[in-house]
Structure 1
Amino acid sequence: MFSLLPHPLVYAEALLAQFANLSRATEGSALLGGFARGLAELSGCELAQLYLLDATHTCLGMSAECLNGHLQPRQTANVPADYNGEQLLQFALCQNRVVCIGELEGSLYDTSFLPSQVRPWRSLLCVPLANQQQSVEGLLLCASHQRMELQGFADSFGRLGSFVLGHLQLLQRLRRPSGGASPASAGAPGLSGYGLTGKSAAMRQVYSLISKVLHSSCTVLLGGETGTGKEVVARAIHECGPRRTQAFIVQNCAAIPENLLESELFGYRKGAFTGADRDRSGLFDAASGGTLLLDEVGDMPLPLQAKLLRVLQEGEVRPLGSNATHKIDVRIIAATHQDLSVLVSQGRFREDLYYRLAQFPIELPALRQRGNDIFDLARHFADKACAFLQRDEVSWSNAVLDLLASYGFPGNVRELKGLVERAVLLCEGTELLVEHFSLRMDTLPDAGKLNLRERLEQIERGLLIDCLRKNDGNQTLSARELGLPRRTFLYRLGRLNINLENVDG
């Protein structure tokens, strides 16, 4: 265990002392803080961090941080609630693999989770932490401004971390009230962006917002252009939250007439109108305990908006033909592609309902703003189409990737899905070609809704990708050909979300 360390006996004694110190902790916060400080002392690193998953394994939060010998406060506004969007942390967590990087400076690794310092971080060690059942519960991380070989600490740090997890669970059981149940973790969903596809900065922001509202009962308003995946995000919030074992019901408010929509949502009693020959429960009752998605809520008629406001404020409904109200427990998620504030100014949407629905807004990015997510989504849809058709997976020609990168996608993810599925049907070989895609060339970015910065980024992305492909992915030759310092070239690759997997096709 200590063979890679310069003074194994001295280190073993220091490690044993840390075990002894941590075993005497009687409070969870003191235990985790002492663990972070101990990691910094044992490794000689300026930074030690501890990340733990929550009970549902959907939120990765920082539980302790020791910086320059001092424990950092956790209750600060600038500390993210969830680190699930950090790719390096996700890799170590999901793959259950130690990550050791000896030279961070100039690399393409995204280390935004490290605190900003005047001196750059150069060395990093990330170790998954497993409990007694060998289930990964979190991560420990050490980083230094010096060039250090940290791999030798991985094994002993992992064992020390497992001991801390066990001791933390013991302290929690001792402090739990008699008869109290522990939070259920069985059946917890996966960790890759709440089941959503995308690693761009825009989607990582969406994941961060989801993490903040996931375990809350407040109303969520999903905005964004048509086809950005609002229903998919609503389902992710439901399936990753505490209501996932209950119903998830979707109602499109623009799909049916006003009188039918009211009876559909609120239900009715026998004799309420002609043809009402029996009592019928509405969707609010059907979704009780679960989640109701009101899609295209901007098209809801004004009379119904007043009734929806009462549901949100009082948590009760009155079926048509009934004089009595009854309580419901349902989470409301609203979605719209319209700007509700504009509808309010036009008198087409109630202002009080708007502020009630916009309690926690999440704006979904257009596909053209998501960089290389286009390629990840395209491959995802192609794999699903091939599996459905029971055919071998297809590859992608460079010309197709160039075409997708330059296309505006006015229909966003929905349009991409349809294009890819049609291309797979048309493809008779093993490679998708340009002729398999019927793109409307009048909707390229320069004629779409891109602003100047976004158009310039599209042009720059195309130039960088073309140069990399021309040089078989060689970054040094590509930087030289474009007349850029290599570090500037790498920075631009990272800023434009260009990775070599997509360049290789």
Structure 2
Amino acid sequence: MFTHVPQPLAYAESLLGTFTELAAAGDDQRLLQALVQAVAGLSGCALVQAYLLDSTHTRLGLEVAWLDGRLLARDCSSLPADYNGEQLLQFALCQNRVVSIAELANSVFDTSFLPPQAAPWQSLLAVPLVNARQQVVGVLLCVARERGELAVFADSLGRLGTFAMAQLQLLRRLRQPLPQAQASVAAPAVVGSYGLIGDSPAMRQTCQMISKVLHSPYTVLVLGETGTGKELVARAIHDYGPRRSGPFVVQNCAAFPENLLESELFGYRKGAFTGADRDRPGLFDAAHGGTLLLDEIGDMPLALQAKLLRVLQEGEIRPLGANGTHKIDVRIVAATHRDLAQMVSEGLFREDLYYRLKQFPIELPPLRQRDGDVLALARHFADKACAFLQRSPVAWSGGALDHLEGYAFPGNVRELKGLVERAVVLCEGSELEAAHFALNSSEPPPCDGELNLRERLEQVERNLLLDCLRKHDGNQTLAARELGLPRRTLLYRLGRLNIQIGDSTGRLA
């Protein structure tokens, strides 16, 4: 780091003193002022500037500058509000790369953002400022009036800048205590809730079911609508159970076609098929001693369901191309948002596997049935989003809370999480308002009063399928993917509702 700097020992001693000085800074402004002053002394540059991204990471602003031995006062009327358009700064910021120009006056780069001088600036060094999460949050700029290679300072100044950004984040967190309303909502995530947020009766019942099966070897079937947190429950069963020290492996059964899913789960031997040039263990072997979550088990092909049944009954697997079987020690948790009982009656799911998986079912409640949990979850997601974006925690207006409480959340917790994260990004102040949330409150069209319940449900389903097919110009594969259905299930429903392919191109039968 100090090989090419002038007087390496003196430079190292000065750098060490700078770390100590930054650690003692009492507020963020003094910290940044001490940073640019120290960098000017270390590099010998006449001008040092620190640019930082705002809380939304969309605007780059000049925070502090040091010129010819003195701090420059920020004149907001004369300085640009956003430096994102500056080519040199943008390159260092977006590419996370050091920019060093030894002959700035003869270069093609635009330096109009630098303070005007009688003699032109000659050399420049731009060092990305990186926080503890390795995210680029700003740029440290060093400019000299003499020609020279400033790149020798890049490594040491980059580390100094990273330390300064960590201190800055700490100071801002200490300066912004959590509002009382937010501090009071941390209570739902209490010991015994297995990391699940919520204190509604429905969630207490779910936690009670988890506690019953936690230390047993039984297969668990987690049921619930899309977005209710089935994978979180499966992970809780693993993390709080006796297999917590083992691996936790997740496989979405809808993500692969049948042949690839089989090789992914069971593994294969060399020569089992074209391209199998070596032995490869499957996910059952990878999860040995731990837990394997088979998500969307309702989408598993029938042929593969029979092989899974043998795994559950015998505790052994046979990789593709192998002559024998071997034992595995894996706890299997299955999850699905489908009605497996109906799929059994339709011949789309094996009855014997269904009853084997239904050994201990846990049905997760939709968010609309979790009284009082919406606000606790919303505040939790907002705090996580603020921490991720490196911004101060946001408060909640009464209008925003009422707005969320009056919504049904068809996408459940996953939809709520996405809405809150988007609202935090849109919020430029310190409080979330109802306008930051785009909720679809439209109601379905009224049904004919003479239709019974079954006919009304079929009418809604028919319109939904037709709209989706029209959207994809009659492409059944794309329509099935958007609806979250296997293609064969979509074909079955089209036949049951007497929907012809021609209907999807504009004609209603």
Q: Does 1:208 align with 2:186?
A: no
Which residue is 1:337 aligned to?
337
Counterpart-to-counterpart distance in 1, 2:295 and 2:409 = 22
| Alignment match, 1:261 | 261
Q: What's the CA shift for 1:401?
A: 1.0
Match of 2:61 in 1: none
Paired residue for 1:177?
none
Q: Which residue of 1 aligns with 2:375?
A: 375
Query: 1:401 and 1:200, CA in 2 relative to 1: closer, same or farther beyond 3 A?
Result: same
Shift in Å, 1:201: 0.1
Separation (CA, whole Å) in 1 of partners of 2:404 and 2:389: 23
Contact 1:293 1:332 in 2 (8 A): yes
Q: Does 1:389 align with 2:404?
A: no
3-state SS in 1 of match to 2:194: helix
Contact in 2 for aligned 1:407/1:443 (Cα 8 Å): no
Separation (CA, whole Å) in 1 of partners of 2:432 and 2:334: 38
Map residues 239-278 of structure 1 onto 2, 5 A cutoff: 239-278=239-278
* 1:364 correspondence with 2:364: yes
User: Hey, what does 2:409 align to over in structure 1?
Assistant: 409
Match of 2:283 in 1: 283
Residue correspondence of structure 1 range 53-64 to structure 2 within 5 A: none
Contact kept? 1:317, 1:325, Cα under 8 Å: yes
Structure 1 residue runs of 5 or longer lacking an equivalent are 1-93, 96-188, 448-505
- Tell me the alpha carbon deviations over residues 327-374 of structure 1, each in whole angstroms, 9 at most, x when there is no partner: 000000000000100000000000000000000000000000001100
The CA distance in 2 between the partners of 1:356 and 1:370, in whole Å, is: 29
**Correspondence list, 1:164-243, <5 A:** 191-243=191-243
Q: For residue 400 of structure 1, report the CA deviation from its aligned partner.
A: 1.1
Quote the Cα distance in structure 2 between the aligned partners of 1:200 and 1:305: 36
Secondary structure of the equivalent of 1:193? Answer: coil
Q: Take 1:377 and 1:190, find their aligned partners in 2: how far apart are those partners? A: 14
Secondary structure in 1 matching 2:320: coil
> In 2, Cα distance between the equivalents of 1:352 and 1:308?
11
| CA drift at 1:280 | 0.4
**Structure-1 residue corresponding to 2:431:** 431
Which string of whole-angstrom CA distances, capped at 9 and with x for unpartnered residues, describes residues 365-414 of structure 1?
A: 00000011000000000000001111111111111111111101000000
- The aligned runs of 1:287-326 (5 Å cut-off) are 287-326=287-326
Cα distance change of structure 1 residues 395 and 192 upon mapping to structure 2, 3 Å threshold: farther
TM-superposed CA distance for 1:225, in Å, is 0.4
| Contact 1:419–1:437 (8 Å) recurs in 2 | yes
SS at 1:333's partner residue?
A: strand
**TM-aligned CA deviation for residue 442 of structure 1:** 1.6
Secondary structure at the counterpart of residue 332 of structure 2: strand
| Matched residue SS, 1:259 | helix
**1:350 match:** 350
2: CA distance, partners of 1:361 / 1:407:
28
Q: Counterpart of 2:442 in 1: which secondary structure?
A: helix
Could you say what the CA RMSD is over the residues aligned between the two structures, in angstroms? 2.1
Q: Is the 8 A contact 1:340 1:349 kept in 2?
A: yes
- Alpha-carbon spacing, 1:191–1:230, altered in 2? closer, same or farther (3 Å): same
In 2: Cα distance, 1:247 partner to 1:347 partner: 34
What residue number does 1:100 align with? Answer: none
1:443 positional shift:
5.7
Shift of 1:417: 0.2
Give the match's secondary structure for 1:243: coil
Question: What CA distance in whole angstroms lies between the structure 2 residues aligned with 1:190 and 1:278?
Answer: 48
Letter in 2 for 1:414: R
* Aligned residue identity for 1:390: Q
CA distance in 1, matches of 2:386, 2:403: 21
Tell whether the 8 Å contact from 1:408 to 1:443 is kept in structure 2 after alignment: no
Residues 266-319 of structure 1: per-residue CA shift (max 9 Å, x gap): 000000000000000000000010000000000000000000000000000000
- Report the residue type matching 1:302 in the other structure: L
Compute the TM-score of the two structures, normalised by the length of structure 2: 0.50
- Percent identity over the alignment is 73
User: Kindly tell me: are residues 343 and 208 of structure 1, through their superposed partners in 2, closer, same or farther at Cα, counting changes over 3 Å?
Assistant: same
In the aligned structure 1, how far is the partner of 2:359 from the partner of 2:443? 34
Contact kept, 8 Å, 1:254 with 1:300, in 2: the verdict is yes
Q: How many residue pairs are counted as aligned between the two chains?
A: 262
The residue identity in structure 2 corresponding to 1:234 is A
Q: Distance in 2 between matches of 1:387 and 1:441?
A: 30
Query: Could you say which residue in structure 1 is the equivalent of 2:132?
Result: none
CA distance in 2, matches of 1:380, 1:233: 17
Separation in 1, partners of 2:407, 2:195: 26
Residues 367 and 409, structure 1, Cα contact 8 Å, conserved in 2: yes
Cα distance in 2 for residues equivalent to 1:358 and 1:258: 23
Kept in 2, the 8 Å contact 1:410–1:443? The answer is: no
What letter corresponds to residue 191 of structure 1 in structure 2?
A: V
Q: Distance in 1 between matches of 2:215 and 2:371?
A: 30
* CA offset digits 1:109-132 (Å, max 9, x no partner): xxxxxxxxxxxxxxxxxxxxxxxx
* Runs of 4+ that moved beyond 4 A: none
Aligned residue for 2:42?
Answer: none
Are 1:399 and 2:404 counterparts? no
Provide the TM-score with structure 1 as the length reference: 0.50
Whole-angstrom CA distance in 1 between matches of 2:373 and 2:353 = 34
For 2:284 and 2:442, the matched residues in 1 are separated by 43
Q: Distance in 1 between matches of 2:408 and 2:443?
A: 6
Structure 2 unaligned spans of 5+: 1-185, 448-509
* Matches of 2:223 and 2:311, distance apart in 1: 21
Partner of 1:442: 442
* Distance of 1:293 and 1:359 partners within structure 2: 15
Q: How far 1:192 sits from its partner (Å)?
A: 4.2
Cα–Cα, structure 1 residues 192 and 427, in superposed 2: closer, same or farther, change >3 Å?
farther
Supply the AA of the counterpart residue of 2:244.
R
For 1:411 and 1:351, how far apart are their aligned partners in 2?
29
Rg larger in 1 or in 2? Answer: 2
